[in-house]
Structures are given as structure tokens and as C-alpha cells.
Chains A and B, each alone.
Chain A
Amino acid sequence: MRLTSPVSGLLLGLLAFVAASEVAAHGERNQEPFLRMRTAHFYDVAWSTGKVNVNEDVVIEGKFRLFEDWPANLPEPEVAFLGNGTPGPVFVRTESWLNGQPAIQSVPLKIDRDYAFKTVLKGRIPGDHHVHPMVNVEGAGPLMGPGSWVQVAGRANDFVLPLTTLDGTKIDNLETWGVSSVVGWHSVWIVIAILWLAWWTRRPLLIPRLVAIDEGREKLLISRADLAAGAVLIVLTVSVVVIGFIWAENTYPRTIPLQGGRAVVKPLPRSDAPVEVIVERATYDVPGRSMQIRASVTNQGGRPIQFGEFATSGLRFVNRELPAAMAMVSPTYPKDLLPPSGLKLDDATPLAPGETRSILFDMTDAAWETERLTSLINDPDNRVGGLLFCFDDQGDRVIANVSGPIVPIFKDLVAHQGMTH
């Protein structure tokens, strides 16, 4: 048997409990940093609202890129599913789209390509819920995007999910659809089982019967009436099964099997003015909570570019000096994922078309610690990854991949020696 499924099933209740009790997070920070920094990079993520009533919709839209430097130990995203990281079914997902295609089925995705997603969630269970976009990749697990709090107000009992099937059946509420016939048929079988057990247990059971067998009188243990009851039971059981089957066929003449197909989704087109980033040296200053990446950057497009944002694992280090970059930050983006000091450069002059320059990118914030990305040092694969958002003089954006090995630095002194010229 597949072990993951029953185990996950058994753990479900426990997981839901952890999700409900641990207000701050539901496990997204527990994934190894190298997985979070080098798999699915979510960007342009927006939540339509931070507060809904039961039965109202919240829409999550955005994009993600499956990172070029995909960890070698993870399977490629040949089977993936657009999920949502919520504490269980506190919302109901009524729609989800990948590049405009329905995402109700699983799809193969391509590495180093971008996808736009849209998920519509309908409030169901009142409370404050942390809502993430998420991509599940077979063999790799859930890849979480940034999380934002969405409050669901109202009463859980008011929730309804009505729909009409293709044969015209009107379902008032999917929550309770079919449940009465499930309970009814279970009851029929439970009653028959109890009658059968009562037929036998009403008489002396254990020791007298054991003694009778030991003393060779087992013929007395089963009467003609018992045999007749057995025959009746067979006829009754088969009849109830047949009657139930015919009833179901007549009541629901048009049915289909479970749909287990795979969809196909084309990735978004690539930029025709790429920026190439080659990491020369990346360091992480542990006590200073500062990541510094020195990289050789080449502008392969036709217009001068500036650097507006370094994004990794939901964290957005935005260059506050660059208006085009600041314009991309929606006021509703979670503040804990927007480090105030942002992205700093040692040389902010625009990079001319065709020019290559060595630039030092500085991202310093306690968020490295709170997001538990510093535990990179404990990982078996110490590589850093992220997206660099570049803006040309017309405000158009090009997204470059940044990845390379990273070296921890444990003393401020060494850090400065290493990084300055």
C-alpha cells in the first residue's frame, strides 16, 4: 500500500489542530530554505480583500516562476496542481485558473517558465485564516507562496454551495447532498446486522457452547431454525443489494466516472530583452542578518535598466529609490514580507544596453531570521536563489534569475573584508 495516503489521512486531524492553534503560521516556514528559495517563486500576488463574510469570495491572483536552478534532488514538475495553502477547508475553492485555463485537473509545468494563476475562494468557516497561493508538485510536495490574513465573518451554518448538474438536478447545498441516502442505506444494513447478531446472542454463548463442542454435542448448537435463518439472511442480503442498485440506476440514470485526466497549460511568453546575472560571491552575515550578492549583470536588451526588487520565498526586498519598483508594491501586500530597508546597491547608475557590470546587492533585514531562511546553513545544499526585477526607462519589467552558492559569515569583521574592494 502507498504509505503516504493513510498516514496523511491519519495526520489530517492533527494538522488541522496545529493549523488552528498556531496562529502565526501553518508550516510554511518549516520547509528547508533551499527548497523555498529555488522552486516556485511567487510574485505580483494580490488578495482581493482581507475580510469576507461567509459565502463571499476572496480572489487571489498572481504569477509564479518555476526556478531555473531547480534543486537536483527534487523531481521536475511533470505533474503539478494549483492548490491553496489554507488551514483545511475553511474556504471553498470555486474556481482556479492557470494562464486562463481551468486548473481543476493536474498539469505538467515547465522549469524556468512563468505562469499566471487566479483562485476564487468562498468564505466558509469564520475566523482569521492565513491564505497562501500554492503549487503542489508530485514528489516535491507543497510549494507555498506568500501568506496573507483573511478574516471570514458571519456564521458557519449560513454557508451554502448550490449548483445544478448537467442532467438538470438542482443541488441546494453540496455540503449535505446525498448524505441522507448514505445515512439511510447505512441504517438499513446496521439494522439487519443487529437482527442477525441478536438472533445468536440471545441464547447462552460462550462457555456452554465451548463445553458442548468439547463433549461432542455440537449438533445441538445449530437448529433447523438457525439454518432457515441463514437461508433467509442470504436471500434478504442479496435482495436488498439488488433493490438498492436498481433504485440508484432509476434515480440517477446518467452518471459518469471520476475524472482523472491531465490538463495542458502553455507557459507565459518569455521576455525578449533578457538580463543575465552571474553570481560571483554570495554571503550571509549571520549576526548581521544581511545577505549580500555580488554578481556580474549583463543587459541584453535594447534599453537601459535599473534594479528594483529582489524577491525570494515571498520576501520582497524593494529598491525604495526606484519609483517604478515602488509602484509595483500594492498597499495590501503583507507587511511582514516587505523588509523596510529593502534592496540596496553599491552602484545605482542604469545599466546600458549591452553593458556588463559587477554589482553588489545588499538585502539586510531581520526577516531572514523570522522567515527562518537563515537555517540555510543547516541544509545539505547551500545555494541561494531569487528573482531580480529590472526596470527599463519606460517602466517595463524584466525578471532575471539569480542563483549561486552562498557562504555564511559569522563575524562582522570578516564580512567587511570579504565584501569591500
Chain B
Amino acid sequence: MSAQLQENRDSVTLYGRRWSRENADLSRTFDILVVIIMFIAITAAFHLHFQLTVGDWDFWVDWKDRQYWVTATPILLMAFPAALQYVFWEKFRLPIAATVCMLGLTIGIWITRYSGFHTWSYFPFSMVWPATMIAGGLILDAVLLLTGSALITAIVGGMSFGLLFYPANWPLLAPFRLPMEAMNSLVSVGDYIGYAYTRTSTPEYLRFIERGTLRTFGGHSAVVSAFFSGFVCILVYLLWWYIGMAFARVATLPNRMKIFMGLHDRGAEGKDA
């Protein structure tokens, strides 16, 4: 056993403090309960956030474009990992928050794609498969562990978070970018899937995708989008790190309600009402 954990028969030393065996076991039970509850809560909250923000870009294979999907997904995903990294790291020195978020999100997404989109609404998985976002979360956690610094995690981790999204998903996406001919037109396999499987309320023009621009990037719009996304991720990371800090603080307010109700509250106000 390492210096972290030293045990003998009745007591155990955890991180430099002696615990009775019974208390240590209780604490471990508490760990397990809280971990399960936290994992479900984070999964549910992050998944809701994801559905409401990234939404269609991740729902459909014919929305996963080189511009908006690549730019928007990492930026919108950054909120929860950054805020929870503050809590997990500052309070517990645990570099796992981003990975927990991404793993929970992945599980949550697969549940809705399987039940809501596939089983219930008949969409094939080739149309509604989710992107993978775990790679970015692993990098955020590892950088925070190695540097211990929110700023460096924002810069290095945030940039990597944006940059890795597209290449990590390319092996999933590439089969759907093969060219094909449909009705004398050139389309990608993904376009055709979106065309073939009717979404009554989502016609073609509603797709918020790259439509082409005169400001050309030599056909490398995904690279430009990924760098832009990484840059914004740096800022969003810092913003949410501080939001995490604000939410982790325990704040109290003087109880004005008591005063309104005719009860004296000397403690907070320091004088008679």
C-alpha cells in the first residue's frame, strides 16, 4: 500500500488521518451512494442541456456539417464539465468531472436515441447516432490533474476540447460522407438518409448547416471551425469555472421574512426591527 492508505487491524489511515475501520467503511458506503446519485443527476441535467442546445445538430446525420456542428457542439458542451471541474477539483482533488459528464451524457443520449428516436419514432440508427464527446472530457481532466491550474486547463484543455471533436468523430461520420447519385443529383449518403426518412416538421431548408461562402478556406472549413470552437471553448471554460465557484459557495442572507412576520431577528440585523 502507498503512503495514501495505511491500515492495521482496527484503524486505517486515509490521506494522513487515522480513521476507525467502522468510520472508514461508513464513509465508503457514503461514497458509493453519492457517486450513484451524482452520476444520475449529472447525466439527467447535462443531457437536458445538450438536447436543448446542441439539439438537431446531434440528432440527425444530415445536420452534422463542417461548420455549425463542429463549432457549436464543443462550445455548448463546455458548460457542465468546467463548472463541475471546479467543484470536484477544489473540494476533492478529483480530476474526473469532465469524464463523468461526458460518460453520463453518452449513456443518456444512447437511451433517448434508442427509445425515443428509434423504437418510438422509427428512425434508423444510421440517421440518429450520436457524436462521441468523451475524448475532450478525458483531456480536460488529465490537463487539470497535471497542471492543477484552471487557466492552463482552459487554454490547453479548452483548445484541445474544440480541436479534438471533429477528428474524434470522423471515423463515425466518414461512411455517411460517401458521394452518391440520387435523382441525377450529387448528395452524400447522410443527405440521402435525411431525405429518405421523413421528418414531417423538419424540411430540408431547416437544416442549419454550411451552405458555402465566398470567404473560402480552401475547402477546409472543418479545420477553421474547430480552431474557432477551441478558442471560444477557452473563454467558455473560464466563465463556467467561475460559475461553478459561485454555486459551490454557501451563502446566507439575513432572514427578512421573520422581521416582516413580527419576529425579532437580532442575529443578522444586529438591531431591533
On A, residues with C-beta under 8 Å from B are 1-2, 4-6, 8-10, 12-13, 15-17, 79-81, 83-97, 102-106, 124-125, 134, 136, 138, 142, 161, 163-167, 169, 171, 174-179, 181-182, 185-186, 189-190, 192-194, 196-197, 200-201, 203-213, 215, 217-218, 220-223, 225-227, 230-231, 233-234, 237-238, 240-242, 244-245, 247-249, 251-252, 254-261
**B51/A6 in contact, CB under 8 A:** yes
User: Within the assembled complex, what's the spacing in Å between the Cα atoms of A80 and B93?
Assistant: 55
**B56/A248 in contact, CB under 8 A:** no
B44 to chain A, nearest CB (A): 14
Residues of B near A256 (CB, < 8 A) are: 177-179, 186, 188
Within 8 A of A (CB), among B187-213: 187-193, 195-212
Contacting A93 at CB < 8 Å: which of B35, B164, B196, B202?
A: B196
**B196/A9 in contact, CB under 8 A:** no
**B174/A200 in contact, CB under 8 A:** no
Contacting B51 at CB < 8 Å: which of A10, A17, A83, A167?
A: A10
**A81/B192 in contact, CB under 8 A:** no
**B62/A258 in contact, CB under 8 A:** yes
A150 to chain B, nearest CB (A): 13
Residues of B near A206 (CB, < 8 A) are: 27, 30-31, 34, 92
**A209/B139 in contact, CB under 8 A:** no
Given contacts A104-B187, A205-B34, A221-B15, 13 further A-B contacts (CB under 8 A): A8-B56, A86-B198, A142-B203, A171-B189, A174-B192, A181-B172, A190-B134, A197-B96, A197-B103, A212-B17, A241-B168, A245-B168, A258-B190
Contacting B201 at CB < 8 Å: which of A8, A92, A165, A208?
A: A8
Residues of A near B208 (CB, < 8 A) are: 2, 5
Q: Is B143 an interface residue (CB 8 A)?
A: yes
**A125/B27 in contact, CB under 8 A:** no
Q: Is B146 an interface residue (CB 8 A)?
A: yes
Q: Which residue of B lies closest to A3 (CB)?
A: B52
Contacting A247 at CB < 8 Å: which of B171, B180, B192?
A: B171
**A220/B15 in contact, CB under 8 A:** yes
The residue in B134, B167, B179 that gathers the most chain A C-beta atoms within 10 A of its C-beta is B134
Q: Is B255 an interface residue (CB 8 A)?
A: no
Contacting B95 at CB < 8 Å: which of A95, A164, A230?
A: A230
For B, the interface residue count at a CB cutoff of 8 angstroms equals 106
Q: Is B117 an interface residue (CB 8 A)?
A: yes
Residues of B near A13 (CB, < 8 A) are: 116-117, 120-121
The residue in B93, B116, B221 that gathers the most chain A C-beta atoms within 10 A of its C-beta is B93
**A203/B5 in contact, CB under 8 A:** yes
Q: Which among B123-131, B231-239, B242-250 touches the partner chain?
A: B123-131
Residues of A near B183 (CB, < 8 A) are: 95-97, 102-104
User: Within the assembled complex, what's the spacing in Å between the Cα atoms of A251 and B195?
Assistant: 25
Residues of A near B91 (CB, < 8 A) are: 210, 213
Q: Which residue of B lies closest to A256 (CB)?
A: B179
B140 to chain A, nearest CB (A): 10
Q: Which residue of A lies closest to B50 (CB)?
A: A6
Given contacts A88-B122, A193-B103, contact A217 B172 (CB under 8 A): no
User: Within the assembled complex, what's the spacing in Å between the Cα atoms of A4 and B130?
Assistant: 20
User: Within the assembled complex, what's the spacing in Å between the Cα atoms of A68 and B16?
Assistant: 83
Within 8 A of A (CB), among B80-137: 91-96, 99-100, 102-103, 106, 110, 116-117, 120-126, 129-130, 132, 134-135, 137
Given contacts A12-B116, A88-B121, A178-B126, contact A93 B195 (CB under 8 A): yes
User: Within the assembled complex, what's the spacing in Å between the Cα atoms of A256 and B94?
Assistant: 42
User: Within the assembled complex, what's the spacing in Å between the Cα atoms of A22 and B198?
Assistant: 19
Contacting B198 at CB < 8 Å: which of A5, A84, A213, A251?
A: A84
A220 to chain B, nearest CB (A): 5
Q: Is B228 an interface residue (CB 8 A)?
A: no
A58 to chain B, nearest CB (A): 13
**A88/B198 in contact, CB under 8 A:** yes
Residues of B near A192 (CB, < 8 A) are: 134, 138
Given contacts A106-B205, A124-B122, A230-B145, contact A260 B212 (CB under 8 A): yes
**A233/B190 in contact, CB under 8 A:** no
Contact with A along B22-51 (1 / 0, CB 8 A): 001001101100110000000000000001
B203 to chain A, nearest CB (A): 4
A416 to chain B, nearest CB (A): 44
User: Within the assembled complex, what's the spacing in Å between the Cα atoms of A96 and B93?
Assistant: 58
User: Within the assembled complex, what's the spacing in Å between the Cα atoms of A142 and B122?
Assistant: 21
In the complex, the 4 A-B pairs of residues with the closest C-beta atoms, listed nearest first: A6-B55, A102-B183, A178-B175, A255-B177
**B55/A5 in contact, CB under 8 A:** yes
User: Within the assembled complex, what's the spacing in Å between the Cα atoms of A201 and B33?
Assistant: 12
**A12/B124 in contact, CB under 8 A:** no
User: Within the assembled complex, what's the spacing in Å between the Cα atoms of A182 and B110?
Assistant: 12
**A85/B200 in contact, CB under 8 A:** yes
Q: Which residue of A lies closest to B109 (CB)?
A: A186
**B178/A169 in contact, CB under 8 A:** yes
Q: Is B19 an interface residue (CB 8 A)?
A: yes
User: Within the assembled complex, what's the spacing in Å between the Cα atoms of A96 and B121?
Assistant: 22
User: Within the assembled complex, what's the spacing in Å between the Cα atoms of A67 and B50?
Assistant: 41
User: Within the assembled complex, what's the spacing in Å between the Cα atoms of A124 and B129?
Assistant: 20
**A200/B94 in contact, CB under 8 A:** yes
**B14/A255 in contact, CB under 8 A:** no
A172 to chain B, nearest CB (A): 12
Residues of B near A136 (CB, < 8 A) are: 203, 205
Given contacts A88-B122, A237-B139, A260-B209, contact A12 B117 (CB under 8 A): yes
Q: Which residue of B lies closest to A171 (CB)?
A: B189
**B193/A174 in contact, CB under 8 A:** yes
Given contacts A83-B198, A258-B190, contact A217 B205 (CB under 8 A): no
Q: Is B216 an interface residue (CB 8 A)?
A: no
Q: Is B66 an interface residue (CB 8 A)?
A: yes
**B145/A83 in contact, CB under 8 A:** no
**A9/B55 in contact, CB under 8 A:** yes
Q: Which residue of B lies closest to A17 (CB)?
A: B120
